[in-house]
Structures are given as C-alpha cells and as structure tokens.
Structure 1
Amino acid sequence: MICNVPTPREVLLCMNAMPHTADSHSRGRDIRRILIEDFDNGFTAMVREYQPGIYSGARRLTAGPHDAEDVAQDTFVRAYKALSEYEPERIAELKIRPWLWTIALNLCRSRARTKAAEFEFQESDAAITDEPEAFDEAAWVARLGSLNDAQRTAVVLRYVLDLPIAEIAEATERPVGTVKADISRALDRLRLTMKAEVLHAR
C-alpha cells in the first residue's frame, strides 16, 4: 500500500550521515577562537570537525569515493591558504561550515565540468541504514540522480548533511526562498516517483 512507503523526507533522514547537534554553533565559535589564538591547532580542529561532513556530501555529488576524497582534501587546502591571509577580525565573523561548503561545491562543479558529466549520487558506506529493508538505497540514489543540479544539492545539504536553510543559501549563493523552492520541488518530484513505482509494481 502507498501508505506503507516511506516519504522522501523519511528516507533522506535515514541516509543522514552527519546529524546536526545543538552545540554545533558553540563548536564553531571555539574553532574560530582557536584559529585566532593558535592557527595550526585551530585548523587541525576545523578539519577534524568538518571534514567528515564535506566528504559525505561530496560522495553524493561526485562520481565516486576517489573524487570525494580529492574534493575534501582540496577544500581544506584552499581553506588553509585563505585563512592564513585573513585578519583575526574576519576569522571571528566567519561562518565556517557554509564557507567550507561554498569551496567544496565549487570544486564539485569544476570536476563535473571537467568530466563533462552531471553530478552523480553514490552510495556511502557511512550512510547505510541499520534497517535496509525499509527502503532500497540504490533505488534512492537513482531517484536523487534524476533531480536537477540545484535540487539535488539542496536536498543533500538539507536532509543528508542536516544544514539549516540559511547555511545552504550561503553555501550555494542562492536566496533562501529559492533554496526552499528547490527542496519543495525535489520532495514533490520524489514523492510522485515513489507513488508511480508502487502503482506500477501492483
């Protein structure tokens, strides 16, 4: 029955590899403070805090794990070069996570252009649910891959990486309203696809 099919939001939340926690903002403040006081230690703390999420998202926005590793590594290489030239006042005001995602998304797009291919979503070992019978993740990877670029990126950042809408808007350099519309359209399309699949299977 259609009512037994998990909703797009439920499935995407099951795939969430980096859950958002209440103290994320406080950790961001701590990292900014350490960056100002002791740059190398602060940068190490920043990598430890944010690299898993960057890799997890890049894993779904590139052609495979090797590309995702390169994107994650290059993101922090570029971040190091930029931060080393920032004044303390600028670091103190920096919103680290969306700033890093701006770098990472640009790298993902650059790789896609170089390979003349659209973004592809790949299965991540870290994202496999403990209850695989609840849904076919491979099928969901294909469904997500059918969305357009903006919708895929917004959905992954919102439901898989658990970024707030405001941070997604900053990272993608798109208005908040546009990001919300991308997510809404993506969920609507996924919902219709799921219903059609269930009806076809009867």
Structure 2
Amino acid sequence: MSDFVRLDPVRKALLDDLDEGFAELFSAHRGLVFSTALRMSGRWADAEDLTAETFLRAYRALTGYDRERIAALQPRPWVLTILMNIWRNCARAKSRKPPPDLREEPVESVDPREGVEEAAVRRETGKELSELLGLLPDEQRAAVVLRHVVDLPVSEIAAVLQIPQGTVKSHVSRGLRRLRTLGGTR
C-alpha cells in the first residue's frame, strides 16, 4: 500500500473509491478535455458531445481495471487518448455522411459575467482560430492543439496520439508553419 501513497490525488482517489475518484478525475480534467474537443471539432455542441462521450467511456473502462492498472494510469494523457480516438472515429463517420443542414446553427452559450467587448474579442479570435485549425490535416491539428492550446509536453502528446516524439515535433512544426501561411492570407 505504500506505493499507492505516492500517487497523484486523482489516482489515489480512484483507488480509494472508484465513483468518488471518477468525480475527482472529471473535475480535474473536464476543462482540458472540453477545450481540446472544441479546438479539434470547431463547434461548441460537438465539443460538449465529445467531452461527455470521453468521460462515459473513461468510466466504463475504469470499472474493468484492476488496482495495479489504475495505480499505473497517467490520467491526463489517458483521457486525452480516449478523446482523440472518439474524435477520429467521429471524423471518419462524418466523412461518410452527407453534410448536415446548417440553416439552424445552434446558439453559443454566453457567460453573463463576461463584458460585451471581451465576449466579442473572444468569439472572433476563437472563431478565427477554429477556422484555421480546421484547415490543417488531422494529424497536424491534433499535434498543434495538444502542444499549444492544451500545453502538453511532447512526450505526453506522443502517448496520446500513439506516435513517436519526433513525429509529434514534425506535425507541430508543419502545422504551425501552415497556420502562419494561412493566417497571413486572410
């Protein structure tokens, strides 16, 4: 049991009580997962769906893990790996279906504490970034978002995307170069 004492709070909570530990996992990583999902999908509603599905699958997986597997778990890259797998599967499925009717675009939720000027700047910047990220190839978008939006180290990005660290660096570099080119043409 002394090995478990040195664990981060999320893993320790998961080992102590799976349900309470999962609540801790959710609280610790929901913002990260949602932010990543939003940058990957480009749509608020899609990001909410991706986030919900990520945590649903995470909980289901945890119920089948033994104590040793939970103790060895790296929560942040683990939930992001789940998210990226769901996102890839959704992107694949969408490419096989005709595009949806966008005449009734959902209204973005607004934070009532935020001033009008801040909301306008945030929305415009976020919209422009989402559009530019959406123009990148999937592997470059994923690497750039995880590195520069989520601020993960290259080693964790490699674990999340299941590719070598050198490939991560290459995707980030090419993605940033392309973003600079695309941003300059607008």
Range class of TM-score, shorter chain: 0.7 to 0.9
Offset from partner CA, 1:42-99 (integer Å, 9 cap, x none): 1100001111111111112225222211111111111111111111111111111111
Pair 124,142 (structure 1): closer, same or farther in 2 beyond 3 Å: farther
Within-5 A mapping of 1:141-152 = 141-152=130-141
CA contact (8 A) 2:40 2:134 kept: no
Q: CA deviation at 1:192?
A: 3.1
Give the number of equivalent residue pairs. Answer: 162
The aligned residue for residue 104 of structure 2 is none
> Are the aligned partners of 1:59 and 1:124 in contact in 2 as well (CA < 8 Å)?
no
Alignment of 1:118-197 (within 5 A): 132=121, 136-196=125-185
Q: Deviation string for 1:99-119 (max 9, x for gaps)?
A: 1111111111111122217xx
What's the C-alpha RMSD, in Å, of the aligned pairs?
A: 2.6
User: C-alpha separation between the residues in 1 aligned to 2:174 and 2:109?
Assistant: 24
**CA separation in 2, counterparts of 1:192 and 1:66?**
29
**Structure 2: stretches of 5+ with no match in the other structure:** 1-6, 97-107, 112-116
Alpha-carbon distance between aligned partners in 2 of 1:55 and 1:196, rounded to the nearest angstrom: 29
The CA distance in 2 between the partners of 1:136 and 1:37, in whole Å, is: 42
Conserved in 1, the CA contact under 8 Å of 2:42 and 2:131?
A: no
Counterparts of 1:36-75 in structure 2, within 5 Å, are: 36-62=15-41, 64-75=43-54
Spell out structure 1 runs of 4+ moving beyond 4 A: 123-126
**Distance 1:124-1:107 versus aligned 2 partners, 3 A rule:** farther
1:84 and 2:63 correspond:
yes
Distance in 1 between residues matched to 2:169 and 2:80, nearest whole Å: 18
Q: Distance in 2 between matches of 1:41 and 1:137?
A: 34
Q: Which residue of 2 aligns with 1:21?
A: none
Give the AA of the match of 1:175. Answer: P
Distance 2:109 2:36 in 1: 9
- After TM superposition, give the deviation of residue 136 of structure 1 in Å: 4.7
